[in-house]
Amino acid sequence: MSDSYSAALTIDIGAIVANYRLLAGRMSPALCGAAVKADCYGLGAAMIAPHLRRAGCSHFFVATVDEGLALRPLLPGARIYLMNGLPPGSERDVAGNELIPILNSMNEIERWQAASRSLAARPAGLQFDTGLNRLGLSHDDAVRLIADPHLLDGLDLSVIMSHLACADDPEHPQNRAQLRRFREITDSLRLPPRLGNARILRSLAASSSIFLGSDYHFDLARPGAALYGINPVLGTGNPLRQAVRLQAKILQLREVDLNMTVGYGASHQFRGPSVLATIGVGYADGIFRSLGNRGAVFVAGQRAPIVGRVSMDLITIDVGHLPRGSVAPGMNVDLIGPDQNIDAMARDAGTIGYEILTNLGARFQRRYVGAQA
Ligand SMILES: *Cc1c(COP(=O)(O)O)cnc(C)c1O
């Protein structure tokens, strides 16, 4: 890493593209899209999404209108879906930039119908809530839409979707219950014919649900986490490639002795002489404070526990057990890498890989590797 940085984040675009291909293979003959919301989970959508497009992905899922607008010029010809719906007042931006709003309420449906009359019809999607109870048309809305198909008049529907609550637990009974509910809705709705008789795609699967089996595949998946290397089925072997390496420099070494403590709150006390290394990353960089006295980093492949609290810009690790001379200021240690993947760090931090990724900070030197020209 260059001298002015104390930490570097390396993002392997080749691994992300390989993960896309693996997921697309699992989904075949159904389609595989990509969730690129939250800046590709913090990894950089502008850098990554065009490579997914070149790898054959043509369905991109973001949360917000701004995310869609930022990606629109970078993904010519691709569909970009706004999963968080249609904010009041955004109709003109959405329609004018060929973004596809996922309509989550009767009010959003009505506003898109009105916008389609004045701004020329544009495709939209519908999301039905089938048990997550988070976002989407309710059970009562579904009953109304099934009873009166005219409520959907004037919509050019390109996708109908729902989202599972427990897909990372293959045994959870809610998976089957939501699947049944999604089938009932998609089988019962009488949908308006599409322009040019284009297909209306049904989409239920995100990363984990791709691995629940083909019952859950329908026509289109929208994985995010698995693209970026997070294990879609925790507790089983991860079939995906790691896409992230996070390294930071050792800034100082110091000798400590029996009964000395380290860090704010003096939360770790040494039981004998040891050596501490201070590393130039902290919670402002997304290294969770909950890793204090719990997590570890890797020094030349050797585990070194984080001792004391994580502070804003620094962490301290115990390297007393490593051979003298094998650790020196200026050396890089691995926080996320070959010896510790995102899921392992998340477990130590008491969270999930998604939160680790989306919190990775802005102070790192960022490097993108593995991209095909
Ligand atoms: C975030 C999200 C996805 C992608 O989920 P992953 O678990 O990261 O694959 C898909 N669909 C919806 C509705 C989402 O909110």
Residues carrying CATH 2.40.37.10, the chain: 244-340
The finding on whether 94 has its CB within 6 A of some atom of ligand 1 is no
User: Model-level pTM?
Assistant: 0.96
Q: How far is the CA of 35 from the centre of ligand 1 (A)?
A: 6
**pLDDT tens, position by position, 253-275:** 999 999 999 999 999 999 999 99
Q: Please give the single-letter amino acid code of residue 348.
A: D
Position 373 scores a pLDDT of 67
Ligand 1: atom nearest CA of 354 is 8
Confidence of residue 223 (pLDDT cuts 50, 70, 90): very high
The topology (CATH level 3) of 13-228 is: TIM Barrel (3.20.20)
Ligand 1: atom nearest CA of 63 is 15
Ligand 1: atom nearest CA of 226 is 9
What is the rounded distance in angstroms from the CA atom of residue 200 to the CA atom of residue 215? 18
Q: How far is the CA of 81 from the centre of ligand 1 (A)?
A: 12
The finding on whether 222 has its CB within 6 A of some atom of ligand 1 is yes
DSSP state of 205: -
Ligand 1: atom nearest CA of 167 is 7
Position 324 scores a pLDDT of 87
> 81-111 in b/e burial notation, b at 16+ Cβ within 10 A?
bbbbbbbeebbeebbeeebbbbbbbeebbeb
Active site residues: 37, 264
**pLDDT tens, position by position, 30-80:** 999 999 999 999 999 999 999 999 999 999 999 999 999 999 999 999 999
**pLDDT tens, position by position, 156-171:** 999 999 999 999 999 9
The finding on whether 309 has its CB within 6 A of some atom of ligand 1 is no
Long-range contacts, stretch 339-347, CB < 8 angstroms, 24+ apart: 339/298, 339/301, 339/303, 340/296, 340/297, 340/298, 341/229, 341/231, 341/238, 341/242, 342/228, 342/229, 342/230, 342/242, 342/244, 343/230, 343/231, 343/234, 343/238, 345/291, 345/295
In 97-193, which residue ranges form alpha helices assigned H by DSSP?
Answer: 106-119, 139-147, 173-188
Position 263 scores a pLDDT of 96
Confidence check: pLDDT of 121 > 70: no
Confidence of residue 27 (pLDDT cuts 50, 70, 90): very high
What is the rounded distance in angstroms from the CA atom of residue 130 to the CA atom of residue 4? 51
**Cβ-Cβ contacts under 8 Å for 246 (sequence gap 6 or more):** 7, 8, 9, 10, 281, 334, 335, 336, 337, 360, 364
Query: What CA dihedral angle connects 120, 125, 126 and 130, to 10 degrees?
Result: 180
**pLDDT tens, position by position, 284-331:** 999 999 999 999 999 999 999 999 999 999 999 999 999 988 999 999
Confidence of residue 372 (pLDDT cuts 50, 70, 90): confident
Q: How far is the CA of 206 from the centre of ligand 1 (A)?
A: 5
Instruction: Give percent above pLDDT 90 in the chain.
Output: 92
To test the pocket of ligand 1, the residue of 130, 178, 207 to mutate (highest count of ligand atoms within 8 Å of its CB) is 207
Mean pLDDT score of the chain: 96
Q: How far is the CA of 204 from the centre of ligand 1 (A)?
A: 10
The topology (CATH level 3) of 244-340 is: Lyase, Ornithine Decarboxylase; Chain A, domain 1 (2.40.37)
Residues carrying CATH 3.20.20.10, the chain: 13-228
Protein residue with its CA nearest to atom 3 in ligand 1 = 206
Q: Report the largest interatomic distance among the alpha carbons of the chain, rounded to a whole angstrom.
A: 78
